[in-house]
Amino acid sequence: MDIRQKETLEQMTGGGIRFHYPMHRLTTYQVGGPVEALWEARDLETLKKVIRYLSLEGIPYGVLGRGSNLLVKDNGIDGVMILLKGSLAAIKEGAEESLVWAGGGAPLADLMNWCRQRGMSGLEFLAGIPGTVGGAVAMNAGAFGQEVNERIKALQFVLPGGTPVERNRSELKFSYRRLHMEEGRLVTNVCCFLDRATPEAVSEKMSGFLKTRKQTQPLEYPSAGSVFKNPPGAPASTPGAGRLIEKAGLKGKKIGGAMVSEKHANFIVNNGGATAADILMLMDLVRFEVKRMLGIDLEPEIRVLGK
């Protein structure tokens, strides 16, 4: 970005843009170099204008949720990262009682509280996933045999030219840990359908899932959750990525500050002072060894950004 572009963006955003912002503060891995510019979008009108400007000027941009599925490289990111806040992170009841509209930037924890308080059931499996609603939809987040797409009725996006659109469930394509969408689309609002239950029943289900997470995941260390996708095939006949990494004898393997968790081998944790390069090198080693010893190619689930 040149000075003119930076000044224009400052004006358009009312000074709400920060330059050279360290990404390690915004990712659950707590690693990553600076992004050229970070902007907290708070309303749809300004978001549309800024996206239009960035597209016209050819300035790269991306949207950041909680950074809980991201590995940002040590030399940072060019362009603008956008956080969705304010009205773009609000949660509201839909036209029918069984519907909820959640802003792309809403923390999943807020959506869990909303469901718990109203006794609305169907999304409990997301309890404990540290992301945002937009991040969960973009990643088709899932756990305990369920995926978020199963509960989606419609999505609202902003397209690269700044145009808002709405798409129904039948117009959307999801696959394992992925929403298929054009580069540069931002999910601004998500409509989910839920079932009526009681606050107690919803709360009990969430507690059960949270308890299992605590028992099976190394939540005491910074991470981005499961690093690799489970290989395709029925879970009963194909071991998950964690089991394969364990079979290859890689539990506890370290490179610099990165370590394959002893508790859950598909988590590479930041054991203290890790760099993105340490984590990437350990990922490469894991892929190489699993391929060499077991003949299976592991595909990363986490998204790697930056340079």
Ligand X SMILES: Cc1cc2nc3c(=O)[nH]c(=O)nc-3n(C[C@H](O)[C@H](O)[C@H](O)COP(=O)(O)OP(=O)(O)OC[C@H]3O[C@@H](n4cnc5c(N)ncnc54)[C@H](O)[C@@H]3O)c2cc1C
User: Which residues contact ligand X (rule: CB under 6 A)?
Assistant: 28, 62-70, 84, 104, 129-132, 134-136, 138-139, 141-143, 186-187, 217, 219, 223-225, 303
Please confirm, yes or no, whether 213 is among the known catalytic residues. no
Shortest spacing between CB 218 and ligand X, in angstroms = 8
Q: Of the listed 66, 177, 185, 287, which one is catalytic?
A: 177
Q: Of the listed 42, 226, 261, 287, which one is catalytic?
A: 226
CA atoms of 93 and 48, how far apart (whole Å): 24
The nearer residue to ligand X, 32 or 135, going by C-beta atoms, is 135
- Check if the beta carbon of residue 165 is closer than 8 Å to that of residue 157: yes
Shortest spacing between CB 128 and ligand X, in angstroms = 7
Residue of this chain nearest to ligand X (CB atom): 65
The nearer residue to ligand X, 68 or 149, going by C-beta atoms, is 68
Torsion 207-229-170-138 (CA) sign: positive
The nearer residue to ligand X, 88 or 290, going by C-beta atoms, is 88
Shortest spacing between CB 288 and ligand X, in angstroms = 24
Q: Of the listed 36, 124, 147, 301, which one is catalytic?
A: 301
Shortest spacing between CB 47 and ligand X, in angstroms = 11
Please confirm, yes or no, whether 262 is among the known catalytic residues. no
The nearer residue to ligand X, 268 or 291, going by C-beta atoms, is 268
User: Torsion angle, CA of 215/210/221/254, rounded to 10 degrees?
Assistant: 50
Q: Bridge-partner residues for 103, per DSSP? A: 189
Percent helix, percent strand, percent coil in the chain, to nearest 5: 35, 30, 40
Please confirm, yes or no, whether 261 is among the known catalytic residues. no
Active site residues: 177, 226, 301
